[in-house]
Structure 1
Amino acid sequence: MEPNETPKRATLTIAEAAEVLGISKSLAYKQADEGKIPTIRLGDRWVVPRAQLERLINGNADASAALKCEKVA
């Protein structure tokens, strides 16, 4: 990483994941609720792990089987 470069965030919001996937926010929330988009609960927020989303996009079967994780303080 370059000295002035901002590190890439490890997670995305569900809305950001929708944009990456090219789907509507409402569909992304529905898919996340059904466990079809991997999510992690951080406090009262749901986030999408970037690495799992990239594996899902690239067709890795392990990512598509990801389930919601429990609260991570």
Structure 2
Amino acid sequence: MTSAGAGPDRPAPVFYNVAEAADLLRLDQSTLYRHLRSGRFPAVKIGGRYVVPRVVLERLITDVLAVGTCLDIADWAERSGFAGGAA
């Protein structure tokens, strides 16, 4: 997965902030925040700040390609063991 800040000398980060994750997912930040706050999208909350583990995004991509159809994020998170919004 390629991301802002990653390059030949810098590996992809282990965690993405909301702005970075929303950009990678091509979502508005407010949309991602809604899913994070409701627990429908896996993340880690540290104080009042959310971060999304890179592994969550990588697994989402792998699973959607394997299924070949649209995934509901809340159902996927529960089936993948990411239920409750914590990775």
TM-score, structure 2 normalization = 0.60
Give unmatched runs, 5+ long, in structure 1: none
The question of 1:15 aligning with 2:19 is answered yes
> Identity of aligned pairs, percent?
33
Letter in 2 for 1:68: G
Name the structure with the higher helix share: 2
> What TM-score comes out, normalization by structure 1 length?
0.69
Give matches, 1:27-66, under 5 Å: 27-59=31-63, 64-65=77-78, 66=82
Distance change (3 Å), C-alpha of 1:36 and 1:57: farther
How many residue pairs end up in the alignment?
A: 66
Asked if the contact 1:39/1:49 (under 8 Å) is kept, the reply is yes
- Extract structure 1 runs of 4+ deviating beyond 4 A: 60-63
- Contact 1:37–1:53 (Cα < 8 Å) also in 2: no
- Structure 2's unaligned 5+ residue stretches are 1-7, 65-70
What's the secondary structure of 1:7's corresponding residue? coil
